[in-house]
Amino acid sequence: MQKTFEELKKEFGIENLDGLNDAKVLEQREKYGENALKEKKKQSLFIKFLLEFKDALIIILMIAAVVSLIVDPHEWVESLIIFVVIIVNAILGVYQEGKAEKSLDALKKMSSPTCKVWRNNVLVTIPTKDLVVGDVIVVEAGDFIPADAKIIECSNLKVDESALTGESVAVDKDATEILDHIVGLGDMKNCLFSSTFVTNGKAKALVTGTGMNTEIGKIAGALLESEDTETPLQKKLTQVGKAIGIMALGICAVVFVLNVLKPTEDGVELGDKLLDAFKIAVSLAVAAIPEGLATVVTIVLAIGVEKMAKHNAIVKKLPAVETLGSTNVICSDKTGTLTQNKMTVVNVYLTELKDLKDLTENEKTMLLYFATCCDASISFEDGKEVRIGDPTELALLDANNLYGRKSNLTRVLDLPFDSDRKLMTTVVEMNGKYLAITKGAPDIVISRSINNQELLDKALDANNTMATNAIRVLALGIKWFDSLPDADVLEQNMEFIGLIGMIDPARDEVKDAIAVASKAGISTVMITGDHVTTAKAIALQLGILHEGELAITSSELAKISDEELYEDIEKYRVYARVSPNDKVRIVSTWKKKGYIAAMTGDGVNDAPALKKADIGCAMGITGTDVSKQAADMILTDDNFTTIVEAVKQGRGIFANIQKCVKYLLSSNIGEVITIFVASCLVLIPMFAGLGTPLSPIHLLWINLITDSLPAFGLGMEEPEDDVMDKKPRGAKEGFFSNGLMGKIIVEGIIIGCLTLVAYLIGHFVFNHVIGQTMAFLTLSSTQLFHAFNVKSDHTIFSKHTFDNRFLNMAFIIGFVLQLFVIYCPGLNTAVFKFEALSVVQLLISIGLALVMVVIMEISKCFSKIWDKLNIFEKLVLILVSIIIPILLVFIIKPVIKHVSKRYDN
């Protein structure tokens, strides 16, 4: 049995149903708590730290370090360094995870739902979590119910309770329903429940339960499960990482066998030979594994999401960042998105079309009727104007406040606006009679009016005149009743009164944004509920509608089959008078045609289309909670320009991730090539004395410093100037498409060859230790220089080359640290087993590293020629690029010896 309002007031300690004051709100919050569900207990730092070691690549490294320590305990330094690197990587991962959680929490706060509530006798909008038991809330079509509540009064209220009951049909609510026995949730007609939403009508209700004390709170376990935020890209890169790990193990086995098979020097026992072979295999494993790949990609995505938030685009789902870069059609609502959403009444029509000067009393009365048939409100709070409601209705209130009549008409019945009826009706009591005031689309109101046809035809002419000038027109009809009428007769056989015209000017910046989108291969389509002539006028003004392209109405669209729409979808640029089903149909057809479609919307009727689109963009200011829930992204400024900027940022983020992956993998392939080719060369008699060019400690240091820091810098790149001059990525285009993997392999081979040449020069001209030191410096320097090659597809000799401060700092820090470990006494010989290089050796190493820049500049110039080569031709060029540098070592060996001796003397 339900409690009465009197019993509830006594239980909650409230005096009336007019809303709480600030003191009572604090008291209720202290007693009942915040209106929020308990969150899932977060993992401790220690557990997060341990989970960082579950990666397959990290496990391979740990096994290699442990086995190396067991095989040769004297060489404990290298194993220690491996563990240090792994631990540092884990700490970075935990730190980044914490940072990402904070970013997501911040984004949740920015996009957190709000509700309308009576506080201190004023209707205000507050965050849903601030609601308390005893509050009086107001909800209307499109709103989520913020808490459990008992309805005080309602009008034509329907609520979708499927989230709670599973019942897909909206439930009719009735404030007068009395329940004197226990019933199921679905039959509690006079109650509202948290997390359900209003599909029609409006209501005023008393909050009876918040947070975990709501019905949804009692079954909140399922809601506490955190979403999987791993994006398709991250999953793909995880698979790449595993493939690299398996490949590394295979190559390690081959290298181990090769080094066992090489000719044994005199006095070297088999055990020592096996130990050396194992060390080389461990080095290769270290070289092949891109330890920082997953961390870097996660950081780049997190940075991208934060950047987009600063540009007024809140990304709710990380995959949206990736999809944005592929968007090639934007289906945009007109009002507030393409226009300023500042509706202003400019014309009235009673018997003649005129502006708002010298209005007659009848025209002033018409303004009053328009303002009365509105759900919007304008109030003042702490000296500030608070405007709540639809911009069109706010414009009507403004017009009446400035030019109309002041009157407090008592509303006794409402039929809320419905997108199918395109009408709203309010019944007021006047002088013992009831007046039904209906406002809505002129064609609908006029078609239901009983005035003489000549008057109605003139009204239609006035409507067309205004609509042609991009003026939005509303019509007004009235009907008198002696007694309170039934709802089904309100909007029939009305007396047509007049028209009102208002304009929502196009945003100044939108025309340029549409031009940028068009240049980027993105089509802009207007989908609006406005009259077709109004929509066409705005579309022409903004550059959406061009010669040969068409505008179509909902009724005309209904006559077109799905097959015809599929064939001609590219022709239509404006859809007017659309219904919710039309929006879904339009978006679905674009998708079937192979386009990646973004869709904007703000109403509950937009939710299905927002969900259907590849990128659903809800309006942050005018958007309903339902539309925000269905969307992938929320535009906090309701601006079309923000979508285009978000696409630009999305393309930039994807490009940055590709740069990071290209940089890291090419560097690791270069390290693998160095060790693998050196291992193969030892089988040739003339190279029999070769050792390992780089030991595990060298490679780990390079991977930790030279790889990771520049990779982070590449992730912070701003989108390139021409990023919106390119066509979008194809819907089925893979991450490594357009020859990216081929470029990675070729660049890796070049890095490996240059490093190997440095080692061979050092080894044969000087000694093995010098060879290793030169190889180390050449490899690290080549990678540092290569970061600037990867930064852009354009030449390195550009004014933008050094505009990334983080990348510049990473380069300087990386270079200084490499020289530090080579020249720091004790550290160089005891830990890294290096020998300080002479000036000649240093210049040779740096010179070889700069060769990478020269080769990349040539490749950028002749990229079109390279792309035309077949696989065989590319392989021949690669093999030649490996063999020639090795042969050159022996040709220039005497020259290097001579110059070095002369310089030393």
Q: Which residues are catalytic?
A: 333
Mapped onto helix, strand or coil, the DSSP state of residue 144 is strand
Mapped onto helix, strand or coil, the DSSP state of residue 318 is coil
- Burial (CB count <10 Å: 0-12, 13-18, 19+), residue 111: buried
Query: What CA–CA distance (Å, rounded) separates 330 from 664?
Result: 35
Amino acid letter for position 280: I
Query: What CA–CA distance (Å, rounded) separates 102 from 693?
Result: 44
Give the DSSP H/E element, type plus range, for residue 363.
helix 361-372
Angstrom CA distances, 674 to 61, 511, 668, 695, 752, stand at: 19, 54, 10, 11, 5
Nearest Cα neighbor of 78 from 90, 89, 88, 67 is 67
Distance from the Cα of residue 115 to its chain's centroid: 25
How does DSSP classify residue 159?
E
Query: What CA–CA distance (Å, rounded) separates 374 from 426?
Result: 8
**Residue appearing with tokens 């945003």:** 507
Sign of CA dihedral 263, 267, 269, 275: negative
Mapped onto helix, strand or coil, the DSSP state of residue 173 is coil
Query: What CA–CA distance (Å, rounded) separates 115 from 197?
Result: 12
Any idea what the Cα angle at residue 54 is, between residues 52 and 58, rounded to 5°? 85
Query: What CA–CA distance (Å, rounded) separates 440 from 420?
Result: 11
Query: What CA–CA distance (Å, rounded) separates 544 from 572?
Result: 10
Distance from the Cα of residue 779 to its chain's centroid: 36
Measured in degrees and rounded to the nearest 5, phi and psi for residue 207 equal -70, 125
Query: What CA–CA distance (Å, rounded) separates 712 from 257?
Result: 37
Tokens of 318: 């990380």
**Residue appearing with tokens 């809330």:** 137
Say if CB 750 and CB 677 are below 8 A apart.
Answer: no
